[in-house]
Structure formats: structure tokens, C-alpha cells
Amino acid sequence: MKAKIITFGNFKGGTGKTTNSTMVGNALASNNNKTLLIDLDPQANATNLYLKTKSNLENEVTSFSHTLMAAIQNEDLQSALINIKPNLDILPSAPDFSLYPRYMESIVDYTERVHYLNKLIQPLKNKYDYIIIDIPPTISLITDSALYMSDYCIIVLQTHERSLQGAEAFVNYIQNEVINTYKAPTLEILGILPVLLKNGAPVDIATLENAKEVFGESNIFSTTIKNMERLKRYDLTGITDEDMHDKKVHDVYQLVSTEIINRIEEFENE
């Protein structure tokens, strides 16, 4: 079976996009799905989180020398794979990935540039059940390339007005540019994943209701990511699984990953 490729996105930065892509990847792997996370953000936050997770599990500092950018230049993505835990690998990003658009300037036609990463990813698709992509919150060749090669996109919506506007812009961009202009062969919007800024706050509730009106209630994930202090701590510690606070976080992402699988099945049975 070829991997389902899922990109997490929003044009508004700081919406919890990286947190949710990494946690969903972790949850899918914990359920015995072979999972790859591709970090296409030069800030490399997903890479740093997963490397801290690996360091905790192995009780030693983890580093890497072969970046995603180097692997692209060698046309061999497999050479940069890092195993984080059973069933979970990452293609790690680093600041040098910001050079990717310039590197691709040798390909004159922009649409061909957009298609390039999709060609490189093909050998890996048979190795995994799911490939999760984390992207920067910008319109760029990197974002276009990720969306073009994806089967599905999940839009992460933090419950404030700017994030809602970013989500609307992202949906419009997917339809008008990635699907209509670049002819993305398989891309569908899987749904909107709500992330609460403050549990039970009137602004959060109002934004969520607005999102249901804008996108349709059936397009909003039934699982809402609540504000959890332990989730924030993972940026410092890596993902841990040691106590009831960890269990609470992991239980939420098991629900999200199950809903993702179910939504994909619904799409593919239509």
C-alpha cells in the first residue's frame, strides 16, 4: 500500500501547526502505522522536537549531519532518514533548506519546480502507511511543492480571528492555485482541526462557531485540541510518556489520528 501524504497548514504562523503535525505523527506510529514526518520548514521546529524525543528514548544526545537539502541535491531522500522510535522516521530540516527555492531556479518552468519534490518522494511511498508534512506558514515554492504531492491537507485553526482568516486564505489558495493552476492530482482538504487558545473562553467559542459557519460543521474535526500545559512542555523536553499528564495529551491525539483515518476512509469510499 502506498503512503497517504498529509500536509498540515495555515497561512497564519503560530497556530500550532508543527505541534499538531508532530503529535499526530507520533500517535499514528504508536498505533503501529509506519509513519514518516517530512519537515519542510527551514526553522526546523518539528526536527528539533523529534530529535529531543529520540534523545530521551535513547538517553543520549542526537544529532545529524545529512540534511534534507543535502539529500535533495543528491536526489536521494532516503539517505537523510532518521529513525525516532519504532514506526516513526523523520526527514530533518535545517536552516540550509531556506536555499531550496534558489536551488530550484535552474528549472525555468515554475510548475515543473512545484512537481520536483513529488518525483523525489516516490521511492519512499512504499515504505510507509502515512507521510506527514510540516510546512512554513507562507506562500512559497516549498508550500506549493508540499501541497502538490499531498493526498490530503489538514488546516490547523487556532481559535482567534487572524487564524480563521489565515485558514480561509489557505483554503482559497489550495483551490485556486494548487488544484486549478498546478493540477495537484490527488489533493483534498481533509478538514479543519481546531486548537483552543484558552479553554472555554468566549472568544474561542465564538471563533469555533464562526469556523463552522464558514467551512461547514462536517468539515470541522470533532476532536478539539484543548490548551494543555504538558503539550507546551514538549518543545523543551521532547515528547514524553511518563505520567497521567502525558497520557491525557496522548489520548487526545489518539482520537485525532483515529478521526484522520476514518475521514480518509470516507473520502476513498465515496
Decide: 143 and 113 in contact? Cβ < 8 Å. no
CATH number of the 4-269 domain: 3.40.50.300
Per-residue pLDDT tens, the chain, 270 aa: give them.
799 999 999 887 666 889 999 999 999 999 999 999 999 999 999 999 999 999 999 988 888 888 999 999 999 999 999 999 999 999 999 999 999 999 999 888 999 999 999 999 999 999 999 999 999 988 899 999 999 999 999 999 988 888 899 899 999 999 999 999 999 999 999 999 999 878 888 988 999 999 999 999 999 999 999 989 999 999 999 999 999 999 999 999 999 999 999 999 999 998
- Output the nine-digit C-alpha cell for 147: 501541497
Backbone torsions φ then ψ of 88, nearest 5 degrees: -130, 115
State the angle between helix axes of 161-173 and 202-215 in degrees (0 to 180), rounded to the nearest 10: 20
User: What's the whole-model pTM score?
Assistant: 0.96
Considering Cα of 64, then 67, then 70, then 71, what sign does the dihedral take? positive
Judge residue 32's burial from the number of C-beta atoms within 10 Å of its C-beta, 0-12 exposed, 13-18 middle, 19 or more buried. exposed
- Give me the pLDDT at residue 198, please: 82
